[in-house]
Structure 1
Amino acid sequence: MKQTPFTDLHVALGARMHEFAGYNMPIEYSGIMDEHLTVVNAVGVFDVSHMGEFWVKGPKALEFLQRVGSNDASRLQPGKAQYSCFVNEQGGIVDDFIVYQFEQEKYLLVVNAANIEKDWLWCQQHNTMGAELENASGWMAQLAVQGPKAMEVLQKLTSVDLSVIPYYSFTTGTVAGVDNVIISNTGYTGAGGFELYFYPEQGGKIWDALFDKGAAYGIKPIGLGARDTLRLEMGFCLYGNELDDTTTPLQAGLGWITKFADNKPFVGREVLEKEKSEGVSRKLCCFELLEKGIPRHGYDIVNAAGEVIGKVTSGTISPVLKSGIGMGYTKPEYAKTDTEVYIRIRNKSLKAIVVKAPFRK
């Protein structure tokens, strides 16, 4: 298995380790519930160095992004980030990603760890215009500092005024004496905070400084288990669960990142335009169980008559709500807010209600 710059630290701290996307990653330390509530109420640090990073540069950079991305990258400005996805010829999602604009002809794409090789090949195959592409995944590390006290902790380590970095914006500055750190407000937890990108060899210095200054705020290391429950409470999609090569962004409720502007002849556009005009065959929804139970990936969603109307894509017991919550695809007429549906768990149909994300208000 591959290692991040922090793998030995995770092991030394007693984390329960497991393979994820080819990396030896921490799943939990003190327990998913404790870690989840630490991020919701205070501050936690996630090692997300396994994520992939591609530079896109040169005079053809924007043309390339408009071709491969569903969102309209021409709306970006230096210091701004945008959520987007690669779409295949059938309208399915190759991957979802974040694109950062540094300069007029310089962008950074951050892609999912499990899809780095697939995405890199996809980008190369569709780079017919000759943009300058560089796979920097091997020499970029990343920590996500998340929670309502994240800004206070991080502010002690940098002279950059973090309060003026809005959501989906970023800057570059010195953190814990390390220069050229990318400081990004694009969290995946819904609890506030920042992501830090830096060279792997600087990781130990930044980690130690964060935990030194954060001790008074109850800072803790957080594993991938709590990362999943935190994003689920916000109704955020996860590739491999809500998103895949056979799911379209319109089915996933991502019409807001699917732009049909005249200057955007992106891959899969025609299929999605047709789907938009004719309507989707299934739709992603969020639900909360009204009875005691834990919904899991792959469970059937049924109606009152017991007919299967969809499948659960993600589910858990919400650490904040203390009830079963989940996401899944159903026939469109069942995806409307306040609709009663049932989740089939061990041959029992437990009542649930469709709700609007986020679960954690």
Structure 2
Amino acid sequence: MEQKTPLYERHVAAGGKIVPFAGWLLPVQYSGVIAEHKAVRSACGLFDVSHMGELVLRGTDALANVNRLMTNDFSGMYEGQARYSPMCYEDGGVVDDLIVYKVSDTVYFIVVNAANKEKDAAWIREHLTGDCAMEDWSDRVAQLALQGPRAEEILRKLTSDIPEKNYSAVLRGTVKGMACMVSRTGYTGEDGFELYCAPADAPALWDALLEAGEPFGLIPCGLGARDTLRLEAAMPLYGHELSPAINPYEAVLGIFVKLEKPDFIGKAALEQARPISRRRVGLKITGRGIAREECPVYDEEKQIGVVTSGTHCPWLGQAVAMAMVDVAYKEPGTVVQVDVRGRKVEAEVVKTPFYKRT
């Protein structure tokens, strides 16, 4: 049976179209995916992301464990700093991609994908060593995402606890009197914030943000726009561009793999993983059609890859896709064909992200 976030009643009251997603009942849209997508690009959108998982590592060996579990290096962080990282299996395939916040020298706060929460928690718990314990805080935390170029103006009406740098957080802030962790992060390609609060405070926080944001064009947004926005910004999604069968180099996330670290799970396999034979690329669909996940990619009669995500991007007015293809076809300008329901549609390899905010 699907779970409801603390904001479920707000979504229903606002006319959100509720769908099951990763074991949760969430709005896929309110006013429509296109309108919501454009609002985030031009003004601001508010998302309920309370379905995400939150895990805490605590102990004198917390940092050593984070560094052993993740491919990125978490040494030398300041309190409130966040870093993105894949977490890999021994063979280099990806368990999940996540964000880690340093709370203190002995406490790290980890945000994981909703569908992977149980798997991630079990994997982490299984591999802890020394003085370090894991706590699952998922039921103790609600998360709202305020995303778009007007996000900071809106948030400033409710708090002065604004992190200045991307991938940093005010750990113990307040928003309209409610205790919040305020993080300058997001999954849309825009400036924005992710607000972590007690579940009981989530409805009041939601209402306060919508009221403060109304003059700026803020609207509630659903899962549909969240997906088109992240795809337009060429951000990978677990289960699509990342999986146990895809390693970070193939996903073009090599910048987050720090082989100079003494050791981490999957290091030996990743040391042997290059040169890679396939990699993630961006495709601009130049023919008529929209490429979707699992559409085969061809060079004439030879299949050279498969689409991992695809859509028509509302802001760009262009059908695009991400695909995993043979490395011989990775250069921008390369012409390929995508099989869209039995019909070959022409496409061109292009640089990513497709959209980048100025």
Output the TM-score relative to the length of structure 1: 0.96
- Would the aligned equivalents of 2:73 and 2:261 in 1 still touch at CA under 8 Å? no
The offset of 1:249, in angstroms, is 0.5
Moved over 4 A (4+): none
Matched, 1:21 2:28: no
Distance in 2 (alpha carbons) for counterparts of 1:349 and 1:202: 51
Aligned positions of 1:204-219 closer than 5 A: 204-219=203-218
Correspondence for 1:116: 117
Deviation string, structure 1 residues 82-112 (Cα, Å, up to 9, x no partner): 0001100111000000000111111100000
RMSD: 1.0
Quick one: distance in 2 between partners of 1:92 and 1:165? 34
Q: State the alpha-carbon separation in 2 of the partners of residues 96 and 142 from structure 1.
A: 18
Q: Which of 266, 272, 289 lines up with 1:268 in the alignment?
A: 266
Matched AA of 1:282: R
Cα offset, 1:166, TM superposition: 1.0
Counterparts of 1:154-193 in structure 2, within 5 Å, are 154-160=155-161, 162=162, 165-171=164-170, 172-179=172-179, 181-193=180-192
2-structure distance, mates of 1:23, 1:115: 13
Q: CA deviation at 1:72?
A: 0.4
In 1: Cα distance, 2:328 partner to 2:315 partner: 29
1:338 counterpart = 2:333: yes
Alignment correspondent of 1:243:
242
Deviation at 1:323, TM superposition (A): 1.6
Counterpart Cα distance in 2 of 1:89 and 1:353: 35
Q: For residues 182-206 of structure 1, what are the alpha-carbon distances to aligned partners after superposition, in whole Å with 9 as ceiling and x for unaligned?
A: 1001111011110000110011111
Tell me, yes or no, if structure 1 residue 349 matches structure 2 residue 344: yes
Residue 225 (structure 1) shift: 0.4
1:294 lines up with 2:290 in the alignment? yes
Matches within 5 A, 1:75-94: 75-94=76-95
Tell whether 2:307 aligns with 1:308.
no
Q: Secondary structure at the match of 1:64?
A: helix
Q: Provide structure 2 residue ranges, at least 5 long, that are not aligned to the other structure.
A: none
1:32 matched to 2:30: no
C-alpha separation in 2, matches of 1:69 and 1:140 = 23
The Cα offsets for residues 319-340 of structure 1, whole Å up to 9 and x where unpaired, read as: 0121210101000111122211
Letter in 1 for 2:112: V
Q: How far 1:254 moved relative to its partner? A: 0.6
Q: Which region of structure 1 is more displaced relative to structure 2, 290-299 or 345-354? A: 345-354
Residue 2 of structure 1 is matched in structure 2 by: 3
Q: Which runs of 5+ in 1 are unaligned?
A: none
C-alpha distance in 2 between matches for 1:336 and 1:126: 39
Partner SS state of residue 284, structure 2: strand
Residue number in structure 2 paired with 1:62: 63
Q: Are the equivalent residues in 2 in contact too, given 1:168–1:184 (CA < 8 A)?
A: yes
Is 1:280 equivalent to 2:276 in the alignment?
yes
Query: In the alignment, is residue 327 of structure 1 matched against residue 312 of structure 2?
Result: no
Partner-residue secondary structure (3-state), 2:271: helix
TM-score under structure 2 normalisation? 0.97
Among all aligned residue pairs of Structure 1 and Structure 2, give the percentage whose two residues are the same amino acid: 43
